[in-house]
């Protein structure tokens, strides 16, 4: 079930880390084919990276073919929007089992909420045993690397392009760069908090498991 602080990196009921799976990369293959072969969700991994690259390429090279700035702006921002939606709603769930969103309260404050694939499955499960089984999905190591590396690199690329715009006084294109930084930065912040909350919940779960083990060990001696 959705809630603040949910984590995709461990079983919330059992306090255990999920198994990380992955296929070794063959040095004789190309980089792209090796990544696709090792990925558990190659289509998601492709679009996770493709929209980012397409937006940067459109920003840098579309002017060579189209002179109308409005068309360039619309195409680039559309690709940025596709990337934002894909990362937020699709690839985050499939590749690392995370999803984030924010709710605006009546007083104007914002509440960040995080959901895992295990949480979503557990809402349809009956009983603790079914909920635990529903949350035992694997995280593919290649998917995780592709997801996180591209998520961190993308805002850096756009910040560098923004610096170039400032130095060249390209104010119009700076607007596009600002949109890119906002959208990519929003996903970065959202998933950063997901990862941060995952670590907190993991520490808490480990502590509770030790406490429960100790209580189960000493309670029989107390009762006797």
Note the pLDDT tens digit of each residue in 77-108.
999 999 999 999 999 989 988 888 888 888 88
Q: Report the distance separating Cα 38 and Cα 21, nearest Å.
A: 9
pLDDT for the residue numbered 110:
80
**Average of per-residue pLDDT across 65-72:** 92
Note the pLDDT tens digit of each residue in 175-213.
999 999 999 999 998 898 886 665 666 566 656 565 556
To the nearest whole percent, how much of the chain has pLDDT over 70?
A: 64
Question: Own/partner pairs for 61-66, CB < 8 Å, 24+ apart?
Answer: none
Query: Is the predicted pLDDT of residue 18 greater than 60, yes or no?
Result: no
Question: Strand, helix or coil at 3?
Answer: strand
pLDDT for the residue numbered 127:
45
Contact 90, 41 (CB under 8 A): no
CA 163, 164, 167, 173 torsion-angle sign: negative
pLDDT for the residue numbered 213:
61
Query: Is the predicted pLDDT of residue 1 greater than 90, yes or no?
Result: no
Model confidence at 6, in pLDDT bands (50, 70, 90)?
very low
DSSP letter for 89, please: I
Among 30-44, 128-142, 163-177, the range with the most confident prediction by mean pLDDT is 163-177
pLDDT for the residue numbered 39:
87
- CA angle 144-148-150, nearest 5°? 120
Q: Which residue has the higher pLDDT, 123 or 51?
A: 51
pLDDT for the residue numbered 218:
52
pLDDT for the residue numbered 123:
53
pLDDT for the residue numbered 109:
83
Contact 112, 100 (CB under 8 A): yes
Mean pLDDT of the chain: 77
């Amino acid at each position: 079930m959705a809630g603040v602080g949910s984590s995709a990196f461990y079983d919330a009921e059992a306090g255990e880390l999920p198994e990380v799976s992955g296929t070794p990369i063959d040095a004789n293959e190309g980089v792209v084919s090796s990544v696709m072969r090792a990925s558990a969700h190659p289509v998601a991994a492709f679009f996770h990276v493709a929209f980012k690259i397409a937006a940067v390429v459109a920003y840098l090279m579309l002017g060579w073919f189209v002179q109308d700035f409005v068309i360039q702006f619309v195409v680039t921002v559309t690709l940025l929007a596709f990337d934002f939606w894909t990362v937020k709603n699709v690839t985050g769930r499939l590749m690392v089992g995370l999803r984030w969103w924010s709710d605006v309260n009546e007083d104007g404050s914002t509440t960040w909420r995080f959901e895992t694939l295990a949480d979503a499955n557990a809402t349809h499960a009956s009983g603790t045993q079914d909920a635990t089984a529903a949350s035992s999905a694997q995280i593919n190591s290649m998917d995780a690397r592709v997801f996180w590396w591209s998520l961190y690199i993308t805002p850096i690329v756009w910040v560098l392009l923004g610096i170039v715009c400032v130095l060249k006084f390209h104010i119009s294109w700076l607007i596009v760069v600002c949109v890119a930084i906002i959208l990519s930065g929003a996903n970065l912040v959202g998933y950063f908090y997901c990862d941060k909350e995952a670590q907190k919940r993991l520490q808490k779960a480990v502590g509770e498991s030790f406490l429960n083990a100790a209580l189960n060990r000493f309670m029989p001696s107390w009762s006797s």
